């Protein structure tokens, strides 16, 4: 579950991309998630981006059921080559909510396809700056080869950061460079605004949005290292809410053909975590998910 940006203080969290970073709980049940979230949320004067907005009654929300709610199904949340079991699960999710009394309506979030590229400009740009402090002077394991200060920086950062982190630092540094800033960073920020206004428009007519959590099931550890774009594509359905600062939750709801768990994602307007948990509780109850990871994963432990 990812709370609204500003709900949980970022103070004390090692920063990756400050405008996107938001702490959220991983739990086994929706009720546990709500309990964790309620404990984590709250205004913090030490975080300037922290919001001072009262938390809604989550317990009441989880009891309320979805009867009478309007839930949007965005036509843009389908990509080429998507796992058919995921599309089937999405349709199943819509049916569960309809059975529980919600009204499902088709909605459009036209700028969705630009979210991933915008995210992969903004997040690395901020990361390139946030990770600058791990330079071997005060933070990071120093690698002093007896050369100049710049030599020490280069050796320390080359040894300390993994390949994916280095890739993101390079992308971010490039996107912020003189002459490229307008074309990349500024453009990405404009896209971010458009994505936010897509959601604003849709939330004027619906209470929540239902989407698949990912276009495919989880890939194996160490996979896709040589194909970062495919790896990044796995975030395609979750980053729009991240860019817009909206709360979202992924509820395990079914299994892929290979026996891997699949999630359904619920999104609501900012600071409406009550609505989020209301829909999530219904999905959890309807799905009755009991899936376990494949036996060999457990055996490896």
Partner 1 sequence: MSNLVSGQTGDWEVVIGMEVHAQVTSQAKLFSGSSTSFGAGPNENVSLVDAAMPGMLPVINEACVRQAVKTGLGLNAQINLYSVFDRKNYFYADLPQGYQISQFKHPVVGEGSLRIELGDGSAHDIGIERIHLEQDAGKSLHDQHPAKSYIDLNRSGVALMEIVSRPDLRSAEQAGAYIKKLRSILRYLGTCDGNMEEGSLRADVNVSVRRPGGPLGTRTETKNLNSVRFIMQAIDYEVERQIEVLESGGEIDQETRLFDTATGATRPMRSKEDAHDYRYFPDPDLLPLQLTEEFVADIRAALPELPDAIKARMIAEYGLSAYDASVLTEERETAAFYEAASENQDKKLVANWMTSELFGALNKAGHELSDSPVSPQELGRLVGLISDGTISGRIAKDVFAEMFASGRPAAEIIEEKGLKQVSDSSQIEALIDRVLADNADKVSEYRGGKDKLFGFFVGQTMKLSAGQANPAMVNELLRKKLDG
Q: How far is CA 249 from CA 34, 187, 196, 264, in A?
A: 11, 28, 18, 8
Taking the C-alpha atoms of residue 56 and residue 60, their distance in angstroms, rounded to an integer, is 9
Shortest spacing between CB 271 and partner 1, in angstroms: 16
Binding mask 120-159 for partner 1 (x = CB under 8 A): -----xx-xx-xxx-x-xxx---------xx--x------
Taking the C-alpha atoms of residue 301 and residue 289, their distance in angstroms, rounded to an integer, is 23
- Which residue, among 194, 210, 198, 201, has the nearest Cα to 267 in the 3D structure? 210
Q: Which is nearer to partner 1, 27 or 49 (CB)?
A: 49
Identify residues 4-23 at the interface with partner 1 (CB under 8 A).
Answer: 10-15, 17-19
Q: Which is nearer to partner 1, 49 or 85 (CB)?
A: 49
Identify residues 58-97 at the interface with partner 1 (CB under 8 A).
Answer: none
Return all residues near 118 (Cβ < 8 A) that are at least 6 apart: 187, 188, 189, 191, 192, 195, 243
Shortest spacing between CB 149 and partner 1, in angstroms: 6
Shortest spacing between CB 174 and partner 1, in angstroms: 10
The answer to whether the CB of 272 falls within 8 A of the CB of 246 is no
Taking the C-alpha atoms of residue 126 and residue 109, their distance in angstroms, rounded to an integer, is 26
Quote the tokens at residue 58: 């989550």
Shortest spacing between CB 126 and partner 1, in angstroms: 6
Shortest spacing between CB 151 and partner 1, in angstroms: 12
Shortest spacing between CB 152 and partner 1, in angstroms: 9
What is the CB neighbour count within 10 angstroms for residue 298? 9
Q: Which is nearer to partner 1, 122 or 209 (CB)?
A: 122
Q: Which is nearer to partner 1, 49 or 256 (CB)?
A: 49
From the list 110, 181, 190, 205, which residue makes contact with partner 1 (rule: CB under 8 A)? 181
Binding mask 46-65 for partner 1 (x = CB under 8 A): xxxx----------------
Mark out the alpha helices in the chain (DSSP H runs).
Answer: 30-40, 58-64, 84-99, 115-130, 149-160, 163-176, 187-203, 228-233, 239-244, 273-287, 295-300
Residue ranges binding partner 1 (CB under 8 A): 10-15, 17-19, 45-49, 125-126, 128-129, 131-133, 135, 137-139, 149-150, 153, 173, 176-178, 181, 185
């Amino acid at each position: 579950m990812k709370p609204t940006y500003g709900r949980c203080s970022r103070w004390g969290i090692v920063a990756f991309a400050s405008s996107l970073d938001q702490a959220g709980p991983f739990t086994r049940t929706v009720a546990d998630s709500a309990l964790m979230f309620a404990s984590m949320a709250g205004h913090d004067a030490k975080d300037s981006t922290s919001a001072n907005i009262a938390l809604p009654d989550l317990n009441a929300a989880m009891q309320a059921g979805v009867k009478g709610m309007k839930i949007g199904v965005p036509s843009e949340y389908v990509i080429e080559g998507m796992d058919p079991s995921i599309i089937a699960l999405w349709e199943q999710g819509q049916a569960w909510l309809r059975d529980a009394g919600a009204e499902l309506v088709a909605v459009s979030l036209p700028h969705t396809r630009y979210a991933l590229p915008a995210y992969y400009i903004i997040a690395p740009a901020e990361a390139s700056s946030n990770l600058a402090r791990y330079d071997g002077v005060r933070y990071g394991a120093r690698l002093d080869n007896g050369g100049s200060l710049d030599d020490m920086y280069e050796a320390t950062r080359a040894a300390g950061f993994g390949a994916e982190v280095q890739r993101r630092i390079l992308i971010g540094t490039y996107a912020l460079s003189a002459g490229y800033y307008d074309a990349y960073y500024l453009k990405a920020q404009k896209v971010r605004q458009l994505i936010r206004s897509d959601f604003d428009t849709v939330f004027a007519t619906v209470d929540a949005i239902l989407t698949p959590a990912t276009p495919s099931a989880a890939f194996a550890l160490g996979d896709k290292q040589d194909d970062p774009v495919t790896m990044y594509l796995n975030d395609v359905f979750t980053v729009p809410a991240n860019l817009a600062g909206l709360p979202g939750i992924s509820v395990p709801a079914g299994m892929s053909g290979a026996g891997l768990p699949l999630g359904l994602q619920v999104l609501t307007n900012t600071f409406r975590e009550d609505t989020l948990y209301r829909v999530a509780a219904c999905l959890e109850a309807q799905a009755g998910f009991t899936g376990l990871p494949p036996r060999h994963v457990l055996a490896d432990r």
